[in-house]
Amino acid sequence: MVGQTPIAKFRAGQVASAVWANDVEVKGRTVTILKATVQRRYKDKDDNWQSSGSFSRNEIPLAIHCLQKAFEKIVETQNDASNNGNGNSNSNGTVEEPILDGVM
């Protein structure tokens, strides 16, 4: 995701999430997988901005809120792709992320 621009960003206080589109090869074809990141921004003792993936008790609800918004954006984007004939839709019209065996 280095050098990429997120397709969406959500912020609550010092906590922010972003949605990223990643193209991967699955069974010989390119599939776009949407993923979310979450981080907390803060200034260190030298007044430089830093990022962290750890959250205090009061920041956890903010992280949950941002991730919920990211989840909603991912589902919305996948549903739009399914309705436009793109994506992996099953018989009831929902879009499923492909299972990548052996990839973590």
Give the model confidence (pLDDT) of 2-55 as tens digits. Answer: 678 999 999 999 999 999 999 988 889 888 899 999 999 999 999 999 999 999
Report d(CA 35, CA 94) in Å as an integer.
17
Each domain of the chain, given as residue ranges in start order, spans 8-83
pLDDT at 101: 52
| Alpha carbon separation from 100 to 26, 31, 45, 53, 57 (Å, rounded) | 7, 11, 42, 25, 34
pLDDT at 65 over 50: yes
At 100, the pLDDT band (50, 70, 90 cuts) reads: low
